Amino acid sequence: MFELLFSLASIGIVVWLLMIVLPTWRVTRFIADLKIFPIYLSILYIVGIITVIFMNGIGFMQYFSSATGVIQLLSEPNFALLVWIHLLCFDLFVGHFIYQENLEYRFIPLPLQSIILFLTLMFGPLGLLTYVVLRKARNREGS
């Protein structure tokens, strides 16, 4: 079942490609405004986590308190796939934030936005931090 959830989550790449390659296209804006894909990924994650809890209880949470425990959890394939969906969901949410805020306020040029969205897709926090730093620098210039 977790491989099916993983496969279903893979469609999120379409939104990333639209935001990166066609940021001003009205279809891209429409899809981003709906936030349908972060919601969709959230639903997939919820289905997965409820399945984990139903099958195993909440005892897995005890493993979150140590690096060894987290490694042990991530070595279990179904849990690793679920964590991947978790990451996809949050990265896409952050990507939506960057995309929508920058289209509204134009803190950075669109080609740079595309690079930052790619960084966010591939390296999550690096893309977010890059955007926040550049946005802050731009705000200082405008003051």
pLDDT tens digits, 85-140: 999 999 999 999 999 999 999 999 999 999 999 999 999 999 999 999 999 998 87
d(CA 103, CA 113): 9
Strand, coil or helix: 83: helix
Tokens of 38: 């972060």
Q: How many domains does the chain have?
A: 1
pTM here is: 0.91
Collapsed DSSP state (helix, strand, coil) of residue 108: coil
Q: pLDDT tens, 37-95? A: 999 999 999 999 999 999 989 999 999 999 999 999 999 999 999 999 999 999 999 99
Structural domain for 78, as ranges: 2-142
How far apart CA 136 and CA 60 sit, in angstroms, is 40
User: Phi and psi of 29, rounded to 5°?
Assistant: -60, -40
